[in-house]
Structure 1
Amino acid sequence: MKVCVIDDDPLMLSHLETMLTSLGHTVATAPDVDTGLSCMETQGSDAVVVDILMPERDGLTFIMEARKVRSDVRIVAITGGGRLGAGPVLRMASGLGAHATLIKPFSSNELEMALGLTA
């Protein structure tokens, strides 16, 4: 599976890339929403893992824009919660079209399940 990972934290981006690569996926990374949208389109991504809380444009914006151009791509929204806690932002992400949501930290098994590859 081709997966694009979007996160503004370089350590998290690297960790997710390593995690997904070890699970056998082809991974492209992006540090922001604009790069992520380009990544999704040019790489022909099957799935996107996107952090919700990012500066400039957030993951909710990504989900709205991604749904306009690629209704078929699977989106997994992730967050550590921030000031509001994880619940409200993940509910918003689901409402906007994310297939699955995860609260950081999560295991590779949880990520694999969110990608829809295991039962």
Structure 2
Amino acid sequence: MAEPAARHILVCDDDVVQRELLHEMLKRLGYSCDMAVNGREAMKRLRQDRYDLLITDIFMAEMDGIELARELRGLKPDLPVIAVTGGYGGVLKPYAHFMTVMGARAVLRKPFTRDELAGALSRALEGPVQAEDSGKDPA
């Protein structure tokens, strides 16, 4: 597996605080990253630049993470995806499951720690698709 600094990640989240938090976590873990505020902007960036991984929120305006994952499968089917969400109570499990069906290699529930993010990144970047949950009860 390549060193983190050699990895370029696209973060897609409509919450500015969450984007800044992810940017800082990724920076401290040694990754470079770009930011997108919704799925449409993420698709534009994905068409223009090369990324090693996409981290996307599931629930967003304009184009949510599920729509983004669906479009991504047609554009870059091998790009690893990590889904993140604060969820909406009991509805999280079906959406998290759908993201794994769409190819997400991990689903993390906000708030998550830098160590949880590091573990998800390691799993997502090193091998075959194997969806993992952060272990937190999403309900």
TM-score normalised by the chain length of structure 2: 0.79
State the Cα RMSD in Å. 1.7
Residue 18 of structure 1: aligned partner: 24
Aligned residues: 119
Distance in structure 2 (CA, Å) of the matches to 1:18 and 1:43: 21
Correspondence 1:66 to 2:72: yes
2:20 partner letter? S
Comparing 43-52 with 107-116, greater Cα deviation is found at 107-116
Structure 1 unaligned residues grouped into runs of 5+: none
Q: Does structure 2 retain, via aligned residues, the 8 Å contact 1:86–1:103?
A: no
Q: CA deviation at 1:87?
A: 1.3
1:116 aligned to which of 115, 122, 126: 122
Deviation string, structure 1 residues 33-84 (Cα, Å, up to 9, x no partner): 0111122232301001000001121100000111111112110001111254
Distance in structure 1 (CA, Å) of the matches to 2:32 and 2:44: 16
Correspondence 1:76 to 2:82: yes
Q: Does structure 2 retain, via aligned residues, the 8 Å contact 1:52–1:77?
A: yes
TM-score normalised by the chain length of structure 1: 0.92
Q: Does structure 1 retain, via aligned residues, the 8 Å contact 2:40–2:62?
A: no
Moved over 4 A (4+): none
Distance in structure 2 (CA, Å) of the matches to 1:115 and 1:38: 23
The structure-2 alpha-carbon separation of the partners of 1:41 and 1:108, relative to structure 1 and needing over 3 Å to count, comes to farther
Correspondence 1:44 to 2:47: no
Structure 2 unaligned residues grouped into runs of 5+: 1-6, 127-139
Q: Does structure 2 retain, via aligned residues, the 8 Å contact 1:3–1:27?
A: yes
Residue 98 of structure 2: aligned partner: 92
% of aligned pairs identical? 30
Q: CA deviation at 1:86?
A: 2.1
2:28 partner letter? S
Deviation string, structure 1 residues 1-42 (Cα, Å, up to 9, x no partner): 100000000110111011101111011000010111122232
Residue 33 of structure 1: aligned partner: 39
Tell me which structure has the larger Cα radius of gyration.
2
